[in-house]
Structure 1
Amino acid sequence: MSTDNTVCIVVDIQERLTPVLNGHQLFIEKSCQMLQGLQALEIPVLAAEQYPKGLGHTVAAIKEQLGDVPLFEKTKFSAWQPEAEAFVRQHGAQNIILIGVEAHVCMLQTAADLRAQGFGVYVPVECTTSRTVENKENGLAQMQNLGAVVSNIESLLFMLLKDAKHPAFKTISKLIQ
């Protein structure tokens, strides 16, 4: 995984869904932290929204962090849709960092589809959740069994940095303190 072959897909962090999720406030905070780190590393980001007419749009804190990144609507649970495929191919990505919800539904189905296409999939454990802890743990276990790497924010950001001489090192170091 490197800054040249990695993108991030943000899955369904939406207004009407997020408040019912386990630990949703910390999840939003950590997802913003991850997005800040990815922006410092200039990792391309794409966002998906599951049926926004019913679930609302991306929550304000995440939307603010995303800025003007491309966003697409979906009704299928997996975010591996034509818009995501075009984005991933456009950036020549081999690895995808997934953040979002719910771990055992949309995140799991997205990870399964990406793995079936041969992509490396990385999920920072702080940046996904479900309505229950059990569903989150089950979703993460299933993703790992599919070959996704279940990791954490610090490990993934430093994996992308590779060297303390990287121009974003100080920014990332301050971010994870």
Structure 2
Amino acid sequence: MALTKGQALGRIIAKNTSLFLCDMQEKFKTSIKYFPEIVANSNRLLQACMVMKMPVICTEQYPKGLGPTVPELGIQNYGILPFQKTQFSMCIEDVYKHLKDNHPEVNSVVLCGIETHACIYMTTLDLLEKGFAVHIVADACSSRTMTDRMYAFKAAKAAGAHMTTCERVILGLAGDSKHPKFKDLQKIVWEPCPDTGLTK
């Protein structure tokens, strides 16, 4: 499905967009900068996508060694089963097949999780090569170092990804306070998103 002009400029259209939750697993809790805040912001995005009935893809990197997705993310509340992988990119064959078979309308992805300079960045490149619009949520992505995180964001933007924030995505899903789901989305962002230390 070709991108509209608005999508090419960075507009998120809920009916054509999927949320990708990348590798927020138990063993990363103590090593990733701002991990609790990243998970909390990703949970907000998950709630918003459920309100808007958008498809969600969740992955786990080698869960046998790195553990399951943390319960704080909340995927268990919606019956979402993670795809297991060993490559860094989320774009494994099973994910592409799932989207093609169940959500062929999806041509845009909201991306969050870890690590920014590895799995997030490589997922971005794969999606862009396939013609997807990619929206990286800066306050829902992190790495073990802020340097890796910052330069990965810069490289992803240069490659063609749209950089955004959690609240910007959520409010953009409605686009109008008259939208029938706006009040449900508003409740999610009533309190400011947790700070993730991003200053540039």
CA distance in 2, matches of 1:99, 1:82: 20
CA distance in 1, matches of 2:173, 2:160: 19
Q: Which residue identity is paired with 1:3? A: A
In structure 2, what is the equivalent of residue 67 of structure 1?
78
Unaligned regions of 5+ residues in structure 2, if any?
Answer: 1-11, 191-200
In structure 1, what is the equivalent of residue 61 of structure 2?
50
The more displaced of 17-26 and 107-116 is 17-26
Q: Which of residues 101, 106, 118 in structure 2 aligns to 1:105?
A: 118
User: Aligned to 1:127, what secondary structure does the other structure show?
Assistant: strand
In structure 2, what is the equivalent of residue 153 of structure 1?
166
Deviation of 1:126 (Å): 1.0
CA distance in 2, matches of 1:162, 1:25: 28
Q: Which of residues 32, 43, 47 in structure 2 aligns to 1:36?
A: 47
Q: Which residue identity is paired with 1:173? A: Q
User: Aligned to 1:156, what secondary structure does the other structure show?
Assistant: helix
Q: Which residue identity is paired with 2:140? A: C
Whether the 8 Å contact between 1:46 and 1:87 is mirrored in structure 2 is no
Whether the 8 Å contact between 1:32 and 1:65 is mirrored in structure 2 is no
The more displaced of 46-55 and 84-93 is 84-93
Q: Which residue identity is paired with 2:36? A: Q
Q: How does 1:1-12 map to 2 (within 5 A)?
A: 1-12=12-23
CA distance in 2, matches of 1:161, 1:35: 15
Name the TM-score, length of structure 2 as normaliser.
0.84
Whether the 8 Å contact between 1:36 and 1:65 is mirrored in structure 2 is no
Name the TM-score, length of structure 1 as normaliser.
0.94
User: Aligned to 1:16, what secondary structure does the other structure show?
Assistant: helix
In structure 1, what is the equivalent of residue 149 of structure 2?
136
Q: How does 1:161-176 map to 2 (within 5 A)?
A: 161-176=174-189
Percent identity between matched residues is: 29
Deviation of 1:65 (Å): 5.7
Any idea what the Cα deviations from partners look like across 1:37-89, whole Å, max 9, x if unmatched?
Answer: 11111111011100001110101111446531232100011010112112332
Any idea what the Cα deviations from partners look like across 1:119-165, whole Å, max 9, x if unmatched?
Answer: 00011111100001111111111111111111011211222212222
Whether the 8 Å contact between 2:115 and 2:144 is mirrored in structure 1 is yes
The more displaced of 76-85 and 161-170 is 161-170
Cα separation, partners in 2 of 1:176 and 1:63, compared to 1, 3 Å: closer
User: Aligned to 2:15, what secondary structure does the other structure show?
Assistant: coil
CA distance in 2, matches of 1:18, 1:87: 29
**How well do the aligned residues superpose, as a CA RMSD in angstroms?**
1.4
CA distance in 2, matches of 1:76, 1:141: 22
In structure 1, what is the equivalent of residue 94 of structure 2?
83
Unaligned regions of 5+ residues in structure 1, if any?
Answer: none
Q: Which residue identity is paired with 2:17? A: T
Deviation of 1:2 (Å): 1.1
CA distance in 1, matches of 2:152, 2:76: 26
CA distance in 2, matches of 1:71, 1:60: 12
